[in-house]
Structure 1
């Protein structure tokens, strides 16, 4: 994928401040924050989460994955930004910037913060950093597959870290989350509070976040490893231990204050994004009169209908664009939400994963998930009520209730393309994924895109690269 416009480079956005904390406060860490072991863990944490959220909301991630995952469209040669190209030919910038973002800018800082916190007998800070590190490594493995994990971030001991299988990485993430929740101690006053842009040091909410991420990982694994159903059942049977309300959502708040805007706003600075509604999305949403259409996409002046375009096909003056609502300055960056947990619980009951199969229970959770999803995007209550009354599928009578859940899960994730891409791949065996995608115009003939390949920088630096190296159409371990 070769973009004409360079505005998406994540390095341009690294200085964005977050959570109402000044830019200077977050950048007290110098260009090499690891050069002094006297740096406070909270500073490393603040730098790491800033870099991480900027990277995942950049063109190198948000747009690149959105195009190949078909949540939205480049618009082909009609677009003055992207131009028609082989979407499957990812640029070196995309591959390298994501890899560096996960490992050098975020993971290494978090790992160092964990080490310092544990040396300082500060288990809560260590736990907070471990939970974010688990999230970051989850995102890394779901993009790249097998990755350095057990030997990662131990530069002196393992200058050429081995690649762990995706299964082992995911098992390690579950263990990391369990370790984090076990070491939290509310009686210990030491923790990250002022630099905690997620929960301001509320350890109960951090535990819910850890449990919710654990459930996501287990649901990713269960089709390949059915033994994970028991652990799923344990979590689903105790919903109070999960993110269950909007107040518990793990998200980063932005504002209209200069230098504190959402990184996606900084991509286009309020100008025409020249990025378009994907036809896969509009084909699902328009027949159901989904009120999120006006949140996700904008109609050009004079147009009365939403119009999507297929991947890499030329848009025109009538095509709907990526919504200004999503790109507004104060848009929050959502990490894990209550609606995600409700959808996963609904799926667990619809499939009988660790719990007795119960479509009536699944229906209630599914309905609550859709309402929570629409509420998050500030859909008027009357529009939500109409959608639920007229267009919400009844899972108890549906021919394929799990498919219906997966459709709504994917629609909810349109503004989080990397998560939508994971959801699509885990939704069914090859050829049955939800929604159905087709090969983009001008893409290399053959299978659909299923992963990022390793950046050339890593291929040339690590002697332990797996052989043969993966190509974009290779399935990962979890991908049936």
Structure 2
């Protein structure tokens, strides 16, 4: 796979008025014969795909908001807005701000340029799937969003101020678009090859990814429209989704010059802004792993100590300690024992008394999660419990948990866990003998654990199911309520740049607030 190192050029055409009979010759002087006049749509497709993993918005939406809200991580620092439900307009609107211009615009252009060309059916289909993936994430973060006109400004002025479409309409179109794209993948068309940073041109895996995304969309609708959700899920399941961790939906990167060829989540979290110096593993997540003897404990945790000095790290599993959510340096002291306050106040210690993130999954070239085989199997377990499918829920649950643990070897070989250790953990969860409600709780908890580093997805699934059961933080300076937010607020520039459509959307959804529920929200 080669590193993308090209620049997109745009040639501007000027109209000149001359009285000379040699007007065309003079105009020709303004034409650069070496300028870019066309662009391979596969290049734009791969550029858009890499930009999904961009640093700015992933750090802000995924790390500073979703991860602490879902209690994967905790921080004493106020800029981790999701920990105490603060409002930061730049962080809340970051996904909209960056992805409409850097991702959706490119995919929309690729789709427009290739939709009538059978030779380009594969890039058309892949771009359609990925556009849906990114807009699905967008609508789950915000609710009603520009969808049908999104990224289509080059196609006409009517798209310059896009309408906010209802989430219900968006979901229906995503389903039909994915089904259409799935049928377009063809070995007779030009292959994607090494421009495909996900599957290297493997069309079977693209079809599986499409079905996995359909299953995720179906599950999201399970509370608001269970009949339609079941139909979509069963059809996608019968069409064939992921079958092993080899099918995991990652964006892959290479070593060498980085540019956009890097895991932006890791770049923002650790390698550049070093936010994770200010965040630690949440006490909620750490206590859950310890209580269940989770073999991921020392995968998730890098130990106690100074992240800059490996010789200080304490990697004894028994010594690991999560940071409580919802506190700052002053209020934390009110819940610590006198002995712990003394440790916390020791020069050079402070938040280092709590477990840090593991640096081994924070390399620039580590894969970026989209959808995993573990998620697919856990969704199948839920579907089986609900009676949507007839296969065995316990088998799907075991497959999903094992896959969630085994997938970590894609980040570092030292993360391998023995089959015996994994089997013991699965048996200890007691799924087979659990009641129906407890089965759903166990699936929700394991989905939460399986989506570590993909907290946007964790947060969405929690809003739908209510699992795991989380205690909201209680900071008196919270923006709106001492409740885990149900959505993020729109990018504030829309208030001035697209006012009519912004106001229409806000009126329709019931206000641009953290606690405004999206269409599919189960309301736990």
Regarding TM over 0.5, the answer is yes
Q: CA deviation at 1:467?
A: 3.5
Structure 2 match to 1:194: 194
Distance 1:157 1:345, change over 3 A: same
Map 1:291-310; keep pairs closer than 5 Å.
Answer: 291-300=295-304, 301-302=313-314, 304-310=318-324
Whole-angstrom CA distance in 1 between matches of 2:358 and 2:184: 42
Distance 1:32 1:296, change over 3 A: farther
Whole-angstrom CA distance in 1 between matches of 2:356 and 2:475: 19
Structure 1 match to 2:271: 269
Quick check: which has more Rg, 1 or 2?
A: 2
Please say if residues 37 and 116 of structure 1, whose CA atoms lie closer than 8 Å, have aligned partners that are also in contact.
Answer: no
Q: CA deviation at 1:397?
A: 3.2
Q: Which moved more, 1:271-280 or 1:364-373?
A: 271-280
- TM-score, normalised relative to structure 1: 0.85
The 3-state SS of whatever aligns with 2:370 is: strand
Whole-angstrom CA distance in 1 between matches of 2:384 and 2:77: 42
The 3-state SS of whatever aligns with 2:360 is: coil
Whole-angstrom CA distance in 1 between matches of 2:80 and 2:95: 22
Q: CA deviation at 1:164?
A: 1.1
Q: Number of residue pairs matched?
A: 442
Please say if residues 72 and 276 of structure 1, whose CA atoms lie closer than 8 Å, have aligned partners that are also in contact.
Answer: yes
More helix by share: 2
For residues 297-346 of structure 1, what are the alpha-carbon distances to aligned partners after superposition, in whole Å with 9 as ceiling and x for unaligned?
22213464221122232473321112212313442112111111100000
Q: CA deviation at 1:396?
A: 3.6
Structure 1: give runs of 5+ residues left out of the alignment.
1-19
Q: Which moved more, 1:149-158 or 1:135-144?
A: 149-158
Specify which of 459, 481, 501 is matched with residue 464 of structure 1: 501
The 3-state SS of whatever aligns with 1:251 is: strand
Q: CA deviation at 1:37?
A: 7.0
Whole-angstrom CA distance in 1 between matches of 2:81 and 2:453: 22
CA RMSD between the two structures: 2.6
Please say if residues 256 and 330 of structure 1, whose CA atoms lie closer than 8 Å, have aligned partners that are also in contact.
Answer: yes
Whole-angstrom CA distance in 1 between matches of 2:133 and 2:406: 25
Q: Which moved more, 1:470-479 or 1:307-316?
A: 307-316
Please say if residues 69 and 83 of structure 2, whose CA atoms lie closer than 8 Å, have aligned partners that are also in contact.
Answer: no
Structure 1 match to 2:29: none
Structure 2: give runs of 5+ residues left out of the alignment.
13-34, 305-312, 329-349, 410-415
Map 1:6-155; keep pairs closer than 5 Å.
Answer: 20-24=1-5, 27-30=6-9, 38-55=38-55, 58-64=58-64, 65-76=66-77, 82=79, 87-121=84-118, 122-155=120-153
For residues 137-187 of structure 1, what are the alpha-carbon distances to aligned partners after superposition, in whole Å with 9 as ceiling and x for unaligned?
100001010011122233222322211111111111111101101222222
- TM-score, normalised relative to structure 2: 0.78
Whole-angstrom CA distance in 2 between matches of 1:245 and 1:38: 39
Q: CA deviation at 1:63?
A: 1.2
For residues 78-136 of structure 1, what are the alpha-carbon distances to aligned partners after superposition, in whole Å with 9 as ceiling and x for unaligned?
xxxx4799743332322343112221110010010111112443222110100000100
Please say if residues 53 and 265 of structure 2, whose CA atoms lie closer than 8 Å, have aligned partners that are also in contact.
Answer: no
Structure 1 match to 2:333: none
Structure 2 match to 1:397: 434
Please say if residues 340 and 409 of structure 1, whose CA atoms lie closer than 8 Å, have aligned partners that are also in contact.
Answer: yes
Structure 2 match to 1:368: 399
